[in-house]
């Protein structure tokens, strides 16, 4: 946000426009990275497009990107970049994962997903170990840079108090039982994305019938984050990190389900059109004034 503000000011534009511009770009880039992740895992172009469109149709994602300065948008987009580049450039992937975690601590789940991607991309054990080492080294770079910056500004102690101790106290204060967490997630889901919620079971059936699997690293990331939600879930921004997983599940699963009765191309066209129609009509009353 600060970078966008500075850029806008240098161009003679109102700084707030720069803040919004950066986050709208991050929101769009998240969908593009989801598309590329699907393509790298052998998903056809049209089905990958459907997955990206379904992701953008998750109301929390688009609203947060439009509002701007939402750290969980930056966390997710940087994390998706980590998943995409880690197999071929593990150090760069680690750096993206580290940056995602600095935006918001649960972004660490993308480091886990990136590690899975690195592991599956290599057959020999020594190569795997070396690549994971480079991944961890890259992940440490953003943290070391931040620590040096904080130390030179005598800010290490306040950082530890506000980024570590505060969160431990906050989680302890707002801890929920597993049953309460499930109820809270259900309320958040039904308030926002009724269409996606209704279609997800059909997408799961499509995966089971077609024996398909979504991109492994993203699947691990999403599952790990769902686990973290049972430690602490508060409000709708906590669901932003689920958007890529939901989009991929709907795009691939629904295409696989329709593909049992239609040609794969026809199924992909129908699912993509449905995703674009859903995207063109935000269902949440939170979009006020209407977009």
Tell me, what's the pLDDT at 283?
67
Burial grade of 192 (CB within 10 A; 0-12, 13-18, 19 or more): buried
* Per-residue model confidence (pLDDT) at position 287: 64
Q: What is the pLDDT of residue 288?
A: 63
pLDDT for the residue numbered 289 = 61
pLDDT values of the chain reduced to their tens digit, one per residue, 291 residues: 999 999 999 999 999 999 999 999 999 999 999 999 999 999 999 999 999 999 999 989 999 999 889 999 999 999 999 999 999 999 999 999 999 999 999 999 999 999 999 999 888 889 999 999 999 999 999 999 999 999 999 999 999 998 888 878 877 777 778 888 888 888 887 778 888 989 999 999 998 888 877 899 999 999 999 998 888 788 889 999 999 999 999 999 999 999 999 999 999 999 999 999 988 877 666 666 655
DSSP-assigned states of every residue in 240-282: GGGHHHHHHHHHHHHHHHHTTTS-HHHHHHHHHHHHHHHHHS-
Q: Of 69, 73, 74, which is closest to residue 16 (Cα–Cα)?
A: 69
Count of other CB atoms within 10 angstroms of residue 225: 23
68 in the Ramachandran plot: left (φ > 0), alpha (ψ -120 to 50) or beta?
left
Q: Quote the pLDDT of residue 286.
A: 67
Tokens for 87, please give them: 């197999």
71-85 and 108-120 helices, crossing angle to 10°: 10
Backbone angles phi, psi at 262, to 5 degrees: -125, 170
- Triad 184, 65, 41: Cα angle to 5°: 85
The count of other CB atoms within 10 Å of the CB of residue 112 is 16
């Amino acid at each position: 946000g600060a970078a966008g503000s500075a850029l806008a000011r240098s161009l003679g534009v109102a700084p707030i426009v720069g803040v919004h511009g950066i986050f709208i770009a991050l929101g769009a880039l998240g969908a593009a990275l989801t598309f590329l992740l699907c393509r790298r895992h052998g998903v056809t172009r049209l089905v990958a497009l459907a997955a990206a469109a379904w992701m953008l149709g998750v109301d929390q994602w688009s609203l947060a990107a439009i509002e701007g300065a939402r750290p969980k948008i930056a966390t997710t987009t940087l994390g998706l970049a980590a998943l995409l580049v880690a197999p071929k450039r593990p150090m760069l992937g680690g750096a993206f994962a580290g940056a995602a975690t600095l935006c918001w601590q649960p972004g660490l789940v993308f480091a886990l997903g990136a590690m899975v991607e690195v592991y599956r991309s290599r057959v020999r054990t020594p190569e795997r170990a070396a690549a994971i080492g480079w991944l961890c080294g890259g992940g440490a770079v953003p943290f070391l840079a931040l620590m040096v910056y904080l130390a030179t500004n005598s800010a290490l102690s306040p950082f530890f108090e506000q980024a570590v101790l505060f969160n431990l106290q906050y989680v302890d204060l707002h801890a929920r039982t597993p049953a309460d967490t499930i109820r809270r997630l259900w309320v958040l889901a039904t308030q926002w994305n009724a269409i996606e919620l209704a279609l997800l079971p059909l997408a799961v059936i499509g995966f089971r019938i077609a024996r398909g699997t979504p991109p492994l690293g993203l699947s691990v990331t999403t599952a790990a984050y769902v686990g973290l939600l049972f430690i602490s879930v508060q409000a709708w921004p906590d669901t932003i990190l689920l958007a890529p997983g939901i989009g991929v599940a709907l795009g691939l699963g629904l295409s696989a389900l329709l593909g049992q009765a239609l040609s794969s191309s026809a199924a992909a066209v129908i699912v993509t059109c449905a995703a674009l129609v859903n995207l063109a009509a935000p269902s949440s009353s939170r979009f006020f004034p209407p977009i």
